Amino acid sequence: MTSSSRVWFITGASSGFGRNMAEFVLQKGDNVIATARRPSLLDDLVAQYPTERLLVLSLDVTQQQQVIDAFSRAKASFGRIDVVVNNAGVTNLGELESVAEEKAKIIMDTNFWGAVYVTRKAVKFFRESNPPGAGGRLLQISSIAGLVGTPGRAFYTASKHALNGLTESVAAEIDPAWNIKITLIEPGSFDTELISKTTFSNPHPAYDNPDLPFTRLRESWSTRVGRGDSRRAVQAFYKLADLKDPPLHFIVGVDANEMARKKLADLQASLDLYESWSVGLDRDA
């Protein structure tokens, strides 16, 4: 490991953005701690890169002790971590009334609580384990669902809204002297395995109207292809980690930007229409 090469800690590195990120970072000459629930899916990368460049670890982010142990292994192997990519996630689609509680809990445990465990440990590691003042970069892989709710994704959307809110608060409370930079990456539809791995809950009979948006989506899902190229997207993520003052929100993908702009317009219209209703609501002195 050279002094100029960075060390990246990536969760959910066996597929999707995580896998593409790990491959691209290694190609750029940086070093990777790649974590996954099924580390054997990374055996091909292990065969390509020496242990001083790549460390593959088994990690279920819902298990807090495993997160702590993974960061400890990273410290022992590389001495520091420069960038954490908080990427692990799952989904299950269905109307609110059709998703079983145990499936909803898995989504929240992984996408929110798992991300919380990684976020806590990353902030502490950047502050206390890296050289003083070195800080670090935390890239939170959220989703446009963290900003915009769509039918059939109530729990996935809730998990990403929760991650967004948590991250905004963390970014506001950390000491600037720690030199920790945090960015929420909010992608639209990309050609990751998240589409092929998505499962559906059994339809609720009350939602059998064929014209409902999610009914149409369910029927067309098998032919769905992500609009964006995930390999190109991770190159943009890599550039984010180079920025001196990165944005808190990074919306990526043409569809994601369209959805965000529509939400902004709707919020602005609502403010313009109803802001006057707040006049006179302050308590009397």
- 142 is an active site residue: yes
Residue 242: C-alpha distances to residues 23, 47, 82, 83, 180 (Å): 18, 28, 11, 10, 13
Active-site residue, selected from the candidate residues 98, 142, 159, 189: 142
- 207 is an active site residue: no
Active-site residue, selected from the candidate residues 117, 143, 156, 201: 156
Active-site residue, selected from the candidate residues 117, 121, 159, 160: 160
Residue 89: C-alpha distances to residues 60, 109, 111 (Å): 10, 9, 5
- Distance in angstroms (rounded) separating the CA atoms of residues 95 and 72: 40
Q: Which residues are catalytic?
A: 142, 156, 160
